[in-house]
Structure 1
Amino acid sequence: MNSLLLNTAAEQMANVSATGLAEYAWLMVAIPLLSSAFLLVCGRVTDKWGHWLAVAASWSSFLIGFIIFCQMIGQAPAERSILAPVFTWFKAGGGNETIELSWNLLLDPLSMTFVLLVTFVGSLIHVYSVAYMEHDPDRRRFFAYLNFFVASMLTLVLSDSYVALFFGWEGVGLASYLLIGFWNHELANAVAAKKAFVMNRVGDLGLLLAMMAMYAEFNSMKFVDVLGASRSGDMTGGWATAIGLFLLLAACGKSAQFPLQAWLGDAMAGPTPVSALIHAATMVTAGVYLIVRSGDIFVASPTAQLCVAIVGAITLLFGAIVGCAKDDMKKVLAASTMSQIGYMMLGAGLGPIGWTLAIFHLFVHGFFKAQLFLGAGSVMHAMNEQVDMRRFGGLRTVMKVSWICFGIAWLAILGIPPFSGFFSKEPIIAAAFNSAAFGTTGAWIFGLIAMVGAGITSFYMSRLFFMIFHGEKRWTTEFDGGSDVHPHEASWLMNGPIVVLSVFSLAMGMVLGFTDKFTQWLEPVTGTAAATENASVSVLSHVAISVITLILVLCGLALAFVMYVRKPVPKVAPASNALVEAARVDLYQDTVNESVAMLPAQLLTVGVGGADRGLIDGIVRGIAWCAGALGRALSHVQNGYIRAYASYILGGVLLALVLVVGSQLV
């Protein structure tokens, strides 16, 4: 096992000193962070132009990141792990007892992949948001929160230690909370924000526990020390399992994976650009980043690695089933995001053979899923903020640009060649069938789940596409009860970013999928291809996997076409079987959470409260009552009569005499 670890990540921690623009990599974080603070502090003075400042800040971070990326491309693979010191935050003690927390940026292929994704897609969404939020009186505050998110996400992926990563981790959680509840004048939005915040705290507890375990065992929380110990065999199986499971809990919270997935659907209450950037393309993939970055820990613990794969497999099916029954197009896309991240988690759980595949699908997914959400935002913009797909239909005739762009992203997520999703998702399915991590039985189970998930994905995403753009026009006043709707294309300030994302969704797979450039780029982190060859078996040929998967995808597409184009779409949700009813309420995930977590917690609270009132308060009140009773009894002694006092004195003297005489007799 340890020899495999040495082969797969031998070059990961060979950090070299920063030179050139890499020395100023901290500007990628500082610029959006300072612009966010500026917009919040300066207030309404910046209302007219603050959004353009935020856009410029985001593009500046992308420009710096892109230049550093180009600089790294020209270096040898062994020199593509750059450490850029920022400052020493905390230092105490001396000698062997020194405690030092330094803030450094780790610029390696994995972190720079995320930098390009976050800043480029984020900048396009910034531009889109200028028009989308044009009439919102709090647009300045929206862009301040958006830039705070960008800074936090970059902190997360560029950190060289789990401590610094935790700051970014908490920052993106705070930004998510602020943006989900941005329109907090509506109670449902505020409740959704609180739900997301609380469920993410469960995941954050997992990350904290993992960090505590790391420090207890290795006296360090730096990647170089913790992952180095796992590769060298200094991390025992018990510690690796504990740390791995804690990290998995953190990933489940942030990436909306089973069993902490319930918050993502409600998070769609935020503005659509937020859903595109935070809850589709970037933040929700942070859990996948954490697992892959900590990959050596999971390889050291087969138990933790198996749990990652199981979580991914369950979630990809869970999200796909839920997506089939939703009529709210944003919630369909949320379920799709949950499912696609499940594919990434499954890939990451396969070990070194799947790390690169998981990151490639994450990277590609960020483009076409952001495009889908922005396209949904354009439809909402044209339909008076309507999200019910039963109120759409036939929009291809009046929104041709949106139809074409949305169609490209739809084909990409289906995995139809030559669109990008085919080159990113199909290899994960093949790897699930061919991974030796869990034996032949495990390969069949995970492979079949991934393959079936592809067919279900094709059905519900085709259902989404056809219900919005095809079929009869259901937005007429006769259908929707008199609503005055005049659908139209959005401005090019909104359509421009969507078109750019469409180009990437179409071309990225062909550019990167036909070559091994992306694999070679990530090799310093994920290991060489030769190191993963021994980690594979062959239960089904790659050609057979591709053909069967494509057949299932086409069957799902055809079924959706028959049900939602050939047949009329019902105005109300029809009564159906128990599975459909369950899927409409997210497979009762809220009910399960309430039964498993909330109800026991409430009962515990009632019990502890009763014990506190009955026992603790009872003791305190009992002592007070006894003191009062004693006081009341003794108060009769002080009656004000001289004869009574004389009697007390006489009694005291007699008692003293008895004691003296008695002592003499003894």
Structure 2
Amino acid sequence: MPFLTHNAWLPAFLPLLAGTLIFVLAAFQRQNKALAMGLSLMGTVLALLASLGLLFSRMTQPETLLHGKFRWLTTGSFDLTIGWSVDNLSAMMLVVVTFVSLLVQIYSAEYMAHEEGVPRYYGALSLFTFSMLLLVLADNLLVLYMGWELVGICSYLLIGFFTFKPEAAAAAKKAFIVNRIGDFGFLLGILILFYMTQSLEFHAVTEAVAAGKLPGILLAVACLLLFCGPIGKSAQFPLHVWLPDAMEGPTPVSALIHAATMVAAGVYMVAKLMPLFAQATSPLFGSFLVLDAIAWIGGITAILAAAIAVTQNDIKRVLAYSTVSQLGFMMMAMGMYQPVMEAGHLHGIVPLGYTAGLFHLLTHAFFKAMLFLCSGSVIHAVHSNDMREMGGLRKYMPITALTCLIGTASISGFPFLTAGFWSKDEILLSMWEAHSPLFWLAAIAATLTSFYMFRLYFMTFEGSYRGHHEAQSIHDPGWLMKGPLLILAIPSVVAGFIGTPWTPPALHIHGFLHFSGHAAEKGHEAVAVAGLNPIVVGVSLTVFLLGLGLAWAMYSAQPKIKPESLAQRFQPLYQTSLNRFYFDEAYLLFVRLGVMGGARISYFIDKYLIDGLLVNGVGLFTIGSSETLKYSQSGRVAYYALAVVGVLVVLVLAFIWLGLGKVGV
């Protein structure tokens, strides 16, 4: 397919064209829902077909270079270029983004049927898809940053879509502002790399770093600043607070944000820049500072978000914190490495978790999109987000219940039969191979994952109905909503089989996504034994059963343990988790203190320095001077004559004194 290989930018261009047409037509008062939906779906379908073509090309002709660029601006001797490049990683992500986006748009056709502003919704969805595809196709840091910021802008528009809801407006602003913090660090990192290497292209920057153009400490600082971007976009500690509130947008938007676009951008960026991060050592702080930071921030995020999710009662909030936790798992995997020593010197690293993190990103996109769409079907039926007002819905919504159970089993790591088991098992193996203490932290987080996800399933679909909505009117949605659920259920199970020990090498994810750095082949061999380590498999099975058993004992139709009694017994811990460890309150207090302190300083400067000293001081000085000088302008000739005589007397005395001084008298 020569046309595609020479026009690899098409997957991004088509949604851009669709979104632009939708907004142009809306500007001319053509508020046609069907037209907007049709344009958006057509653009995404064509983008998916083009993405599949590029993926097939990479699989069959891996030596073919899918790359292009054009000059945008020339500044002195430096050219700013807009370029695109398709490697195996970006080809995989193109398919994931367009596939999930298409299903979300189909689902939205029924879910948003009675909402106002549907053309605006579909236009923003198309631009959101374009932004993520632009980011994926980027061949340099400039284009990556452009896509990065456009993703943030589109998320702001979609999270705040319900303009009549103050909560949605507040959530949109919160997401935008929190991400600005991380993006500022990201931009500083890009500027440092550009200043030191005089290039923004990925391969050129990596080669310049390998050639020693950046001192170790400066490279470490630049990479840590770059990682600030993923801390924000992928909702890592301490900038994780925006993502749970993003659920205020339409549920299909939540599915897209949490599965294939915004939060995936951070993990993708870390993977894309891994050749750079892998070289970021600092003699001042020790070896591989950046990878250690990535791993530990991911570990803290995974356990923290899981500990919060176990007490939440809003179905979408539970899923939101599960996303934060799973992103933490991916970051932990990205930070796993093993030093390679030759003749007593550090030669490079074995990236033990690189492919595992990307594998989990792939499987997570499918089952998390399905789980959010399941929650949308439930909310659509019972008109409530609160799981305490649900229960017994399996009888009324069998297809939604089945797909939710599949998603729950997959994210919890149901052994051998789900995609989530294989990808999470590889993450645990990478930590085991790295001898990292994070292995046990990840095991605890995995136990909590199994618990809170089966808690969600039991509270929603088992037992008796506890809601206020008429039970007999509750039913599965139409096929426009059920269809995407059933389609997503398939990869939620089978996608994991591209990473099993018995998968043919030609189809194995490790053969397709391998790290091209030092000791890459050794790293490939180390991680490819995922399902064969009995200790890791035993831990995976144990944590799954432990979480499931505890959830069943507390939230099944006939619970053995009363959740209320446990909450009462461990009241401080329960309240801390329920209130999300008080992060929002702490940040609000910090902002208020900062704003109030800044306001007081500004008031003092404005009142006493600017107004008091400069403005009023100059005025008072002018008035005082004029008051003093006005007596010299009395208008009487006698006073003027006296002044002249006085001046002459002073001058004569001065000359006499100077003359006597010269003759030595």
**Farther off after superposition, 505-514 or 116-125:** 505-514
Letter in 1 for 2:419: S
Q: Give runs of aligned pairs for residues 241-640 of structure 1, distance below 5 A.
A: 241-300=220-279, 301=281, 302-351=288-337, 352-384=351-383, 386-417=384-415, 418-435=417-434, 440=435, 443=436, 445-476=437-468, 486-513=473-500, 514-515=502-503, 516=505, 517-523=508-514, 525=516, 530-532=521-523, 542-565=533-556, 566-567=558-559, 575=568, 576-594=570-588, 599-600=593-594, 602-621=596-615, 622-640=617-635
Q: CA deviation at 1:603?
A: 2.4
Alignment CA distance shift 1:24-1:589 (3 Å): same
Cα offset for 1:277?
Answer: 0.3
Q: Residue 69 of structure 1 aligns with which residue? A: 55
In the alignment, is the contact (CA less than 8 A) between 2:322 and 2:449 conserved in 1?
A: yes
- Give the Cα–Cα distance (whole angstroms) in 1 for the partners of residues 527 and 86 of structure 2: 30
User: CA–CA distance in 1 between the matches of 2:639 and 2:166?
Assistant: 72
Structure 1, unmatched stretches of 5+, are 1-17, 478-482
- For 1:145 and 1:73, the matched residues in 2 are separated by 32
Partner residue of 2:201 out of 201, 222, 225: 222
Classify the secondary structure of the residue corresponding to 2:632. coil
Q: Which has the higher contact order (CA 8 A, sep 6+)?
A: 1
* Structure 1 residues 226 and 19, CA gap change in structure 2 (3 angstroms): farther
Q: 1:485 to 1:583 in 2, by over 3 A?
A: farther
Asked if the contact 2:88/2:513 (under 8 Å) is kept, the reply is: yes
User: SS where residue 353 of structure 1 aligns?
Assistant: coil
SS of 2:30 mapped into structure 1: helix
Give, in angstroms, the shift of residue 592 of structure 1: 3.2
The residue type paired with residue 225 of structure 2 is F
1:125, 1:571 → 2: CA distance?
37
Q: Does the C-alpha gap of structure 1 residues 281 and 122 become closer, same or farther in structure 2, counting only changes over 3 Å?
A: same
Output the amino acid matched with 2:246. Answer: A
- Relative to structure 1, the CA distance from residue 570 to residue 201 in structure 2 (aligned partners, 3 Å threshold; closer, same or farther) is same
Question: For 1:241 and 1:535, how far apart are their aligned partners in 2?
Answer: 27
* Correspondence list, 1:15-30, <5 A: 19-30=2-13
Q: Distance in 2 between matches of 1:123 and 1:528?
A: 39
What displacement does 1:47 show?
A: 1.9
- Does the 8 A contact of 2:554 with 2:563 survive in 1? no
TM-score, normalised via structure 1 length:
0.89
The sequence identity of aligned pairs, in percent, is: 34
User: Is the partner of 1:83 in helix, strand or coil?
Assistant: strand
In structure 2, distance between residues paired with 1:170 and 1:348: 23
Aligned to 1:132: 111
* SS of residue matched to 2:474: coil
Give a deviation string over 1:256-288, Cα, whole Å, max 9, x none.
001111111111111111110013332102111
Letter in 1 for 2:5: A
Choose the corresponding residue for 1:47, options 26, 32, 42: 32
Look up the match of 2:154.
175
| 2:444 partner letter | V
Change (3 A) 1:524 1:431: closer
Change (3 A) 1:487 1:637: farther
Name the structure 2 match of 1:7.
none
- Is residue 383–residue 485 contact of structure 1 (8 Å, CA) maintained in 2? no
Does residue 82 in structure 1 map to residue 66 in structure 2? yes
Amino acid in the other structure paired with 2:32: D
For residues 20 and 231 of structure 1, do their structure 2 counterparts lie closer, same or farther at Cα, with a shift above 3 Å needed? farther
Deviation of the 1:84 alpha carbon: 2.2
Pick from 189, 202, 205: which aligns with 2:181? Answer: 202
- Secondary structure of the corresponding residue to residue 84 of structure 2: strand
From the superposition, tell whether residues 366 and 203 of structure 1 become closer, same or farther in structure 2 (CA, over 3 Å): same
Structure 1, residues 426-465: CA drift from partner, whole Å, max 9, x if none?
1101111111xxxx4xx2x111011111111000001111
Does the 8 Å contact 1:353/1:431 carry over to 2? Answer: yes
Letter of the 1:589 counterpart: F
**Structure 2-normalised TM-score?**
0.89
- Once the two structures are TM-superposed, the CA of residue 596 in structure 1 deviates from its matched residue by 5.3
Read off the aligned partner of 2:413 and give its amino acid letter.
Answer: G
- 1:190 and 2:169 aligned: yes
Between the two proteins, the alignment pairs up a number of residues equal to 628
SS of corresponding position for 1:393: coil
String of CA shifts for 1:538-587, please: whole Å, max 9, x gaps. Answer: 9x982122112212211111111121122398899964521211111111
Contact 1:180 1:268 in 2 (8 A): yes
Determine the structure 1 residue equivalent to 2:284. none
**Contact 1:410–1:461 at 8 Å: present in 2 too?**
yes
SS for the counterpart of 1:91 is: strand
2:347 counterpart residue number: none
Please state whether the residue corresponding to 2:513 is helix, strand or coil: helix
Q: Decide whether the 8 Å contact of 1:390 with 1:571 is kept in 2.
A: no
In 2, Cα distance between equivalents of 1:157 and 1:602 = 41
CA spacing shift, 1:451–1:215, aligned 2, 3 Å: same
Change in CA separation of 1:569 and 1:105 when aligned onto 2, cut-off 3 Å = farther
1:644 to partner: Cα distance:
4.0
For the residues of structure 2 that align with 1:656 and 1:527, how far apart are their CA atoms? 90
